[in-house]
Amino acid sequence: MTINPTYKVHERIMQTVVELTEEEHDPFAVAGCLLAIAIFVYRSEKMEWNTINRLLSECVKQSVISEDVVKETLH
């Protein structure tokens, strides 16, 4: 079984997102900050679109797994 290369990073970021939402920070503000940071990293690394697409696909797979955690936190 191959371990998703984004798993550990995703888990750490997800923990921070959960903590921020539990502290009653606006979830959309949290998401917007994450998006801004991601865009900055992609641009600074001059990644090829195929690499960005593959990375985002892996992140989405991991995010779907964590969706229930976010729903529980927000409600």
Domain boundaries, the chain: 7-74
Q: Which pLDDT score is estimated for 12?
A: 92
Across the chain, which has 75 residues, the per-10-residue mean pLDDT values are 75 92 92 87 81 79 63 57
What is the pTM assigned to this prediction? 0.59
Q: Is the dihedral of CA 13, 18, 20, 25 positive or negative?
A: positive
What lies within 8 Å, CB to CB, of 8 at 6+ separation is: none
Q: What is the 3-state secondary structure (H, E, C) of the chain?
A: CCCCCCHHHHHHHHHHHHHHHHCCCCHHHHHHHHHHHHHHHHHHHCCCHHHHHHHHHHHHHHHHHHHHHHHHHHC
Q: Which pLDDT score is estimated for 67?
A: 62
Q: Which pLDDT score is estimated for 51?
A: 83
